[in-house]
Amino acid sequence: MKNYFKLLLVFVLIGLLQSCTNKTVYEDTLVIKGGTIMDVSNNGTSTNDIKNKAIIIKADTIFAIVDASQLSKKQQNVITASGKFIMPGLTDGFTVLNNQSYANAFLYMGITD
């Protein structure tokens, strides 16, 4: 009986080790992890910001938002945004980008769209 218990314990430990090491590597993606994703719903007054997630961007599109703990350490193209806020791009529809000086001014203010 003791041998069966030991064998069962070994299988449980192997299963736990495999679950801890099975982390996902997303191929051909850009990953932004660790920042706080701002919830801008309700005219920006929402308090449902999302923390400790990773945004998976594939082919210029948000592919998925997953727990940052699911990412493998082998993941490439990772931007660490710890302590920073991630929010949707803002576009000022009343401006005109007709030269590089305007684009530089917007980039300086943090607006990239």
> Whole-prediction pTM value?
0.57
> Which pLDDT value is given to residue 2?
58
Q: Which amino acid is at 44?
A: G
Q: Does position 86 have pLDDT exceeding 80, yes or no?
A: yes
Q: Does position 67 have pLDDT exceeding 60, yes or no?
A: yes
Cα 9 off chain centre by? 36
Cβ 38 vs Cβ 53: under 8 Å: no
Residue 19's region, left for phi above 0, alpha for psi from -120 to 50, else beta, is alpha
pLDDT, tens only, 32-61? 988 888 877 776 677 888 888 889 888 878
| Degrees to nearest 5, angle at CA 54 with 76 and 64 | 95
In sequence order, what E strands does the chain have?
A: 30-33, 36-37, 53-58, 61-67, 78-80, 85-86
